[in-house]
Amino acid sequence: MKLNQHDTVGDLVARNPQWAAAFERLGIDYCCGGHRPLDEACTQRGLKLDDVEAALSAVERPAEARDWRAESLTALADHIEQTHHVFLKSQLPRLTELIDKLVVVHGRRHGELADLREVFDGLRMELESHLQKEEIVLFPVIRKIEATEGPIEFHCGGGLDGPISVMEAEHDAAAEALQRMGELTGGYATPADGCATYRTTMDALAAVERDLHEHIHKENNILFPRAQALVAARG
C-alpha cells in the first residue's frame, strides 16, 4: 500500500474506517484535526510517513466495513443519533457518579481527581447541549435538504455554514477537554492503589474518548462537508 501524503487524515479514515484505531495508537488526530494532510499530521507528531504506512498496512479491513460516504445523509444522521448519541446519553451520567465516588474515596491521595471532575462536568454540560442542538435543529435541516429537490431556502438566513461552524467549534472544545482529562489521568491509567471502581472509571473515560473521536470524525469529515456540498450544488 502506498499512501498519498497530501490526502487528509479525515479522508483516509472516511475511506478506511478501520484505520481510526491505528491513528489513535499513533497519536494522530483524525477527527477535529482530520482536515490536515497526512504529511503535515506526521510532521506534527514527529513520525515518518513510511512508519505510518507500515502501521496502516498491518490493519486488516473488515469484510463488511460500512462506507458512510456512499450512504444517504439521512442514514448517516440517523446512525450518529442511534449509535453515538445514545452511547453518550448512557455514559455521561454514569461517569458523573463514578468520578464523584473516586473523589470521595481517593481524592485525598489523588488531588488530580478534583480537576478531572471539574473538566468532565464541563464536558458533560457542553455535550448534552450539543446533542440537543444536533437532534432538534441541525440534523432535521440536513434531512430536509436531502429530501427536497431544487434550491434550498433557509428561513433564518445564512444557510448551513453558521450552524456547522458552531458545531465544529464545540467539537474542538470537546477535544481540548478530552486532552486535558487524558493528561490528568496519565492516559486513563489506574494507579497502583486504585480500586476496581477506579479501573472501571478509567476504562469508561477511554471508551468515551474513542467513541467521541469516531463521532466527531463522521460529522466533521463526512456529514457536514457532504451537506454543504449538496446545498452548493442546488444553488
Counted domains in the chain: 2
The reply to whether 229 and 121 lie within a common domain is: yes
The reply to whether 185 and 110 lie within a common domain is: yes
Residue 63 lies in a domain: no
Which tens digits make up the pLDDT trace of 121-176?
999 999 999 999 999 999 999 999 999 886 766 665 568 889 999 999 999 999 99
The reply to whether 132 and 31 lie within a common domain is: no
Domain of 182 in residue numbering reads as: 73-234
The predicted pLDDT at position 18 comes to 83
Which range of 17-31, 55-69, 184-198 scores highest in mean pLDDT? It is: 184-198
Which range of 44-53, 65-74, 183-192 scores highest in mean pLDDT? It is: 183-192
Residue 154 lies in a domain: yes
The reply to whether 102 and 51 lie within a common domain is: no
The reply to whether 98 and 16 lie within a common domain is: no
DSSP sequence for 5-66: TTSBHHHHHHH-TTHHHHHHHHT---STTTTSBHHHHHHHHT--HHHHHHHHHTSPPPTT--
Strand partners, 8: 37
Q: What are phi and psi of 8, to 5 degrees?
A: -75, 155
The reply to whether 23 and 128 lie within a common domain is: no
- On average, the pLDDT of the chain sits at 91
Residue 66 lies in a domain: no
Residue 114 lies in a domain: yes
**CA-CA distance, 69 to 169, in Å (whole number)?**
23
Output 4 or 73, whichever has higher pLDDT: 73
DSSP sequence for 185-216: TTTTPPPTT--HHHHHHHHHHHHHHHHHHHHH
The reply to whether 40 and 116 lie within a common domain is: no
Predicted TM-score (pTM) of this structure: 0.87
The reply to whether 43 and 80 lie within a common domain is: no
Output 148 or 209, whichever has higher pLDDT: 209
Which tens digits make up the pLDDT trace of 81-102?
999 999 999 999 999 999 999 9
